[in-house]
Amino acid sequence: MLRLFLGLFLVMTVGLILALQTVERTFDALLDGQMQSYNQEAVRGQAWSLTEQLRGLDGSARERQLEAVRPHYGLGLTLVESDQLALTDQEKAELAQGLLVIRDQYTQFISRIDDGPQLLSISLPAEPSLMPFYIAAAYLMIAVMIGFVLFFWVRPHWRDLETLRLAAERFGDNDLSARIQLSKRSNIRDLAEHFNLMAARIEGLIANQRELTNAVSHELRTPIARLSFELDQLKQQPDPTQNRKLIADMYADLGELEEMVSELLTYASLERGATVISRENIQASHWLDSVVGSVALEAEAAGVQLLIVECQVDEVRIEPRFMARAVINLLRNAIRYADERVEVSLVRTGDHYEVRVNDDGPGVPLDGREKIFEPFSRLDASRDRRTGGFGLGLALVRRVSQSHGGQVEVADSPWGGASFRMTWAHVD
C-alpha cells in the first residue's frame, strides 16, 4: 500500500504545483494589459501629488522635499535620471503621454516630473522577510491535505487489490475454488467478477480434463485388452479359419479405437473452444436427407424404420460438418434403442431451429436425462458394446448445440420412447 500511496501522492502533488504555476503564469500573460491599467489607476493619484510637489524645484530642493514627505507615504521614493533606466521606446512614449511606466511585476512605477531628464521612481514596500517561508508552508499544507484525502481514497482500493492478489495467489497454488467477494461499492468489482468467471472456467476445464483423462484411460483398456487377448489367441491358433475370425475381431477393435479417438478429439476441440464455428447457408432438405442417408444402412441392419417426417425450413445457417455429426449421433442413439421406428424432423420456432429425433424404445428415466449428456456416462453400466457406445456421442451433441447458441434436451416421445430436441439460434 505504501508504494501505491507514495506514487499517487507524488504524482498528484507535483501535478498540482505545476498546474498552479501554469495557471498563474498563463493568466498573468493574458491579463497583463488589464493589470497594468489597474495598477496605473491605483498609483496615479499619489504619483500626481508627488510630481506636483517636486515640479519647479531644482535637484537639491527636490531631494529635500522627498526626504520630508517619504515617511508619510510608506513608499520607496527616489529621483533617477532617464538615461540610467534604459527606457524602451514604448516606455518613453508612455511617459510622454503622462502615463506611469510599470516595472518589476507591478512593484515599481516611474513618473515624469517635468520636461527635464529627471524622473520619479515609486516602489511598493518590500514583501515580509518570511514570505518565502509562508509560501513554502502553504504548499506544505496543500500537500498534507492531499495526502490525507488520498490515504482514505487509496485504502479501500488497496484492500480490494490485496484481496484480489491473495485470491490469485491461492488459485496459483492449486486452490481452484478460490473466489473473490467484494462490496458492491468497490471500484474493482467488475474485475473481481471477471476473475471469478475466469477461475470458474479454468476449474471446470481442469475438472473436465481430469474426468476425460480418467474416462479415456478406462475406456481404452477394454479394446486394448481384447486386442492383446486376440493376439495371444492368434499365436496359439493353428486353424486358418479361426485366424481369419480373430483378425476380423481385431480390425473391429481397431475401428472401435479409431472411432473413440475421433469422438474424443472432436469433443475436446469443442470443449476448449479451439475450433472456430464458421456457419454456412445450407439447403435444409438436402442436408437433412444426406445426414439421414449416412445412417440408413445401420437402421436397416437393426430392423428400424428411419423416416423424415417434417422439414419446415428451406435454408439453415450452420457449421455443416459438426452439426451433421451431432444429428448423426442422435440418430445412432435412437436406432440403438428403438424397437421399430425412428422419426426425425427439422422445424423453426421463432428465432431458433430445432431438430427432433423420436424413437419407440424404452425411453430415458427422469433422473438420468441430464446425466446422459455428460462425457463417458451411461445409464446402464452393465450393457456391452453392442448396445452401448463410448458415452461421448450425446456429450458431443450438447457441445455442438452450445457452440451454435442452443441446447439439447430429452423428453418422452409420442410412443413412450425418447424424444431428443436439439435447438440452435438463427444467425443472419
DSSP string, 107-148: TEEEEE-SSSSEEEEEEPPPPPTTHHHHHHHHHHHHHHHHHH
Q: Name 418's Cβ contacts closer than 8 Å, sequence gap at least 6.
A: 334, 337, 358, 359, 361, 363, 364, 410, 411, 412
Query: Within 10 A of 66 (CB to CB), how many other CB atoms are there?
Result: 18
Strand 305-311 to strand 341-349: parallel, antiparallel, or no bridges (unpaired)? parallel
What pLDDT score was predicted for residue 384?
38
Sign of CA dihedral 140, 146, 149, 154: negative
For residues 252 and 203, give the distance between their C-alpha atoms in angstroms, rounded to a whole number. Answer: 37
Whole-structure pTM value: 0.49
Please state at what angle helix 240-271 crosses helix 189-236, rounded to 10 degrees: 180
333 contacts 393 by C-beta, under 8 angstroms: yes
What pLDDT score was predicted for residue 16?
81
For residues 381 and 120, give the distance between their C-alpha atoms in angstroms, rounded to a whole number. Answer: 115
76 contacts 103 by C-beta, under 8 angstroms: no
For the sheet containing 305-311, what is the strand order? Answer: 305-311, 341-349, 352-359, 418-425, 407-412
The SS3 of residue 161 is: helix
What pLDDT score was predicted for residue 216?
62
Q: Tell me the pLDDT tens digit for each residue of 312-332.
A: 888 888 888 888 888 988 998
For residues 43 and 29, give the distance between their C-alpha atoms in angstroms, rounded to a whole number. Answer: 21
Contacts 24+ apart (CB under 8 A), 29-35: 35/106
63 contacts 79 by C-beta, under 8 angstroms: yes
What pLDDT score was predicted for residue 387?
47
Cell numbers standing for residue 126: 518590500
What pLDDT score was predicted for residue 260?
67
For residues 128 and 350, give the distance between their C-alpha atoms in angstroms, rounded to a whole number. Answer: 84
75 contacts 124 by C-beta, under 8 angstroms: yes
Which parts of the chain have pLDDT scores under 70?
1-2, 4, 208-209, 211-222, 240-242, 256, 259-260, 263-277, 376-391, 428
Q: Name 173's Cβ contacts closer than 8 Å, sequence gap at least 6.
A: none
Give 354's strand partners. Answer: 347, 423
What pLDDT score was predicted for residue 89?
86
Cell numbers standing for residue 309: 417426417
What pLDDT score was predicted for residue 217?
63
What pLDDT score was predicted for residue 271?
63
For residues 412 and 159, give the distance between their C-alpha atoms in angstroms, rounded to a whole number. Answer: 54
Question: Nearest CA to 101 among 83, 118, 119?
Answer: 119
Q: Tell me the pLDDT tens digit for each residue of 31-73.
A: 777 887 888 788 888 888 888 888 888 878 888 888 888 888 8
Dihedral Cα 408, 412, 415, 420, nearest 10 deg = 10
Question: Nearest CA to 396 among 375, 419, 412, 370?
Answer: 375
426 contacts 317 by C-beta, under 8 angstroms: yes
What pLDDT score was predicted for residue 385?
39
